Amino acid sequence: MANNLYCYYMSFGVWSLVSRPLVYLTLAFAAGIFLAGCWELPPSTALLLCCALFFAAVLGYFFHWSFNRWVILSLFLALGFAWATLAACRVNPALDEYAGHWVTLEGTVSQEADVRSDRVYYWLNVHRISLGREARELQALVLVRAPAPGPVYSYGDRLRLHGLLTRPPDAGNPGEFNYRAYLARRGAGAVLMVRDPASINKLGVGGHQVVRAVLRVKEKLLAVSRATLPPEKAALLNGIVFGNQGMIDRKTWQLFSESGVVHILSVSGLHVGLVLAGVLALVRLLRVPLSLTAPTGTAILLLYATLCGLGPAVTRSTLMALMFLWAHHLGRASDWPTTLAAAALVSLMAKPLSLYDIGFQLSFAATWGILYLGPVLDRLLKNIIRHTWLRATLWVSLAAQLATLPLIAWYYNLISLVSLLTNLVAVPLTGLILALGTVSALLGLVAPALAGLINTSTSLLLDVFISLVSFCRALPGSVIYVPTPPFFLVMAWYPLLFVGVLLVSKDRRALWPQFFSRHHRLLPVAFLGGGLLISIFLFKSSVENQLVVHFIDVGQGDSILVQTPGGKTMLVDTGGWPGELDSGEGAGEKVVVPYLRRLGIRRLDVLVITHPHEDHAGGMGAVIEAFPVDLVLVSPVGRTGNISVSTGKSPEQVPSTYSALIAGLVARGVPVKVTGAGDRLHLDPALDVRVLGPPRPLLSGTRSDLNNASLVLRLCYGEEVLLLTGDIEVEAQQAIMDAGINLGCTVLKIPHHGSRYLLPSFLEKTHPAVAVISVGRHNNFGHPARETLEYLARMPVRVYRTDVDGAVILRTDGKHIFVKTGRQRQAA
Specify whether the CB–CB gap between 540 and 529 falls below 8 A. no
**Residue 265 binned pLDDT confidence (cut-offs 50, 70, 90):** confident
Among 72-81, 407-416, 511-520, 649-658, the minimum mean pLDDT is found in 511-520
DSSP state of 586: S
Q: For residue 332, what are the contacts with CB-CB under 8 A and spacing of at least 6?
A: none
If you average pLDDT over residues 630-648, what whole number do you get? 64
pLDDT digits (tens, 9 = 90+) for 119-158: 999 999 999 999 988 999 999 999 999 998 889 999 999 9
595 or 779: which leads in pLDDT:
595
Distance between CA atoms of 659 and 686, rounded to whole angstroms?
Answer: 34
pLDDT of the residue at 165: 94
The domains found in the chain, sorted by start residue, are: 2-88 (no CATH), 93-207 (2.40.50), 547-821 (3.60.15.10)
Q: Where are the alpha helices (DSSP H) in 207-289?
A: 209-228, 231-242, 250-259, 269-285
Q: Residue 389: CB partners within 8 Å, gap ≥ 6? A: none
Mean pLDDT of 95-107: 92
Instruction: Please report the pLDDT score of residue 646 as a whole number.
Output: 39
Q: What was the pLDDT predicted at 645?
A: 40
Express each pLDDT in 522-541 by its tens digit: 555 555 555 555 655 555 54
Least confidently predicted of 246-250, 354-358, 548-552: 246-250
The Cα 694–Cα 35 span in angstroms is 54
Q: Would the pLDDT of 1 be above 60?
A: no
pLDDT for residue 819? 95
Nearest to 191 by CA among 163, 165, 160, 169: 165
Q: How confident is the model at residue 487 (pLDDT cuts 50, 70, 90)?
A: confident
Write down the mean pLDDT value for the chain. Answer: 86
The pLDDT, as a whole number, for residue 19 is 66
**Amino acid (1-letter code) at residue 593:** V
**Do residues 177 and 822 lie in contact, with contact meaning Cβ atoms separated by under 8 Å?**
no
Say if residue 594 is preceded by a cis peptide, omega within 30 of 0.
no
Q: What is the pLDDT of residue 266?
A: 79
> Whole-model pTM?
0.86
Angle at which helices 290-307 and 269-285 cross, to 10°: 140
DSSP category for residue 592: I
Predicted confidence band of residue 544 (pLDDT cuts 50, 70, 90): low
Helix/strand/coil (H/E/C) assignment for every residue in 35-93: HHHHCCCCHHHHHHHHHHHHHHHHHHHHHCCCCHHHHHHHHHHHHHHHHHHHHHCCCCH
Contact 621, 584 (CB under 8 A): yes
pLDDT at 643 over 60: no
User: CA of 458: how far to CAs of 23, 75, 94, 330, 463, in Å?
Assistant: 42, 52, 50, 38, 9
The model's pLDDT over 31-52, given as tens digits with 9 standing for 90+, comes to 999 998 888 888 888 889 899 9
Dump the DSSP string for 350-417: H-GGGGGSHHHHHHHHHHHHHHHTHHHHHHHHHTT---HHHHHHHHHHHHHHHHHHHHHHHHH-EEET
- Rounded to an integer, the average pLDDT of 441-447 is 88
More confident residue, 277 or 801: 801
Q: Residue 528: its pLDDT value, please? A: 55
pLDDT digits (tens, 9 = 90+) for 154-174: 999 999 999 999 998 889 999
Task: State the pairing for strand pair 157-166/134-147.
Answer: unpaired
Confidence category of residue 825, pLDDT binned at 50, 70, 90: low
- pLDDT above 80 for 484: yes
Q: Which of 6-20, 304-318, 402-416 has the lowest mean pLDDT?
A: 6-20
Highest mean pLDDT among 230-234, 389-393, 453-457, 808-812 belongs to 808-812
pLDDT per residue over 224-257, tens digit each?
999 999 999 999 999 888 888 888 888 888 898 8
pLDDT at res. 308: 85
CA dist list (Å): 412 to 257, 425, 596, 599, 701:
9, 23, 12, 12, 47
Q: What is the rounded distance in angstroms from the CA atom of residue 250 to the CA atom of residue 637?
A: 32
Task: Please check the confidence at residue 514 and state whether its pLDDT lies above 70.
Answer: no
Q: Percent of the chain having pLDDT more than 90?
A: 45
- Residue 650's pLDDT band (cuts 50, 70, 90): very low
What are the pLDDT digits (tens) for 773-799?
999 988 889 999 999 999 999 999 999
Dihedral over alpha carbons 395, 400, 401, 404 (to 10 degrees): 160
- Greater model confidence, 457 or 312: 457
| Cβ-based neighbours of 412, under 8 Å, separated by 6 or more | 257
Q: How far is CA 264 from the centre of its chain?
A: 18
Residue 674: predicted pLDDT: 94
Nearest to 616 by CA among 579, 585, 577: 577
Does 194 have pLDDT greater than 90?
yes
Radius of gyration for the chain, computed over Cα atoms and rounded to the nearest angstrom = 30
680-717, pLDDT tens digit by residue?
Answer: 999 999 999 999 989 988 998 899 999 999 999 999 99
Q: Yes or no: say if 772 and 747 are a contact pair by the CB < 8 Å rule.
A: yes
Lowest-pLDDT range of 365-379, 399-413, 506-520: 506-520
Q: Which has the minimum average pLDDT: 540-544, 696-700, 812-816?
A: 540-544
Convert the pLDDT of each residue in 61-95 to its tens digit.
888 788 888 888 999 999 999 999 998 888 888 88
Q: Are 464 and 234 in contact (CB under 8 A)?
A: no
Bridge partners of residue 146, in order along the sequence: 120
425 versus 689: which is more confidently predicted? 689
pLDDT at residue 521 is higher than 80: no
In 3-state terms, what secondary structure has residue 124?
strand
